[in-house]
Amino acid sequence: MKFVKDFLIPVIVLTVICLVVSGALVLTYQATKPIIDEAKNAEANAARAVVLPGASDFEEVELPSDIEGAVDAYRETNGVGYVVTASAAGYGGDIKLMVGFDANGTITGVKMIEHQETPGFGAKLAEDSYGETYVGKTASDYTDVDGISGATITSKAYKKALSSAFELYSAASGNSVEISEVVDEPEEELVLYTVDDANAALIPGGVTKYEQEVDKIKEVYIANDKSALTMVVTAQGYHEEPLIRLVVGMDATGTIIGVKPVDFAETEGIGDRVGKPSYLDQYIGQTTTDGVEALGGATVSSNAVKKAIDKAVDAFELVKGELAA
């Protein structure tokens, strides 16, 4: 009797409680699942309507299994067009695009819904403004859109995902399309300058070396027409030696007109990306370094470039009197 009272009965009671709770959860799930599914479907349709303006409702289209990068395809029930999702391997992982097509296969919208690309470079392709450049493009001319400088791998992946999207449109609509081939874009190179060449690129009218040291900056050059100046600045990057050396140009208002690398021996494929035009050109038009973010994966090199440019920005106040107002 003690076994029954102290062990068996509590086990039976707990078992009954678990069965009742499990049954209640199943009933609750069955009751709420249609509501949850309907809410998810409405949310998904709203997202699809962003890339296919005028759409209201969708039905999923069964797809062949041999389309590379295929995720899904939906037909707008009123015949407005199609929305498909396709993926391709980018720089940091797969990117996923949702693409809208009208009934004739012209792109009506593109939205990157998933990516792991580098902030400041590949991630720029996730911005709506970039997707908008493909609106109105077809299978024959979508490759004409320029990629993002410094993000060649992501740019190619974007177009490969679009190529798959056109295949999905063709399968979903039954319309045959001839899809332009995605070709490799030229890799951006790190170009080093001499100080003289950097000065000539930044101030074509010629410069004269300033005779005095300015805030520990030994090389300062004034434009012959007094419209701008350049400074040669350094900072320690990822490696202790050699130092990063840059020529920074500024106009009479202290606005940066360009940055050219002279010495830039950062790690190839990682830190050296910070010395390429796609990154350094972000400083053009800036009066401080605050508006330019560090490049993901190359934080030390990015911060060294900022430190070097900050030296020029700070020193500008001491020499701006040499420039024409």
* Domain residue ranges of the chain, discontinuous segments joined by +: 58-173, 195-322
pTM here is: 0.55
Instruction: Give the per-residue pLDDT at 36.
Output: 47
Distance CA 230, CA 220 (A): 6
CB 246 within 8 A of CB 188: no
CB 298 within 8 A of CB 273: yes
Instruction: Give the per-residue pLDDT at 116.
Output: 77
Instruction: Give the per-residue pLDDT at 93.
Output: 82
Instruction: Give the per-residue pLDDT at 148.
Output: 75
Sign of CA dihedral 316, 319, 321, 325: negative
Mapped onto helix, strand or coil, the DSSP state of residue 124 is helix
First to last CA, the chain: 104
Instruction: Give the per-residue pLDDT at 105.
Output: 95
Q: 179 φ, ψ to 5°?
A: -95, 125
Specify the amino acid at residue 225: D
Low-confidence ranges of the chain (pLDDT < 70): 1-13, 15-44, 117-122, 149-150, 184-186, 325
**DSSP states of 21-59:** HHHHHHHHHHHHHHHHHHHHHHHHHHHHHHHSTT---EE
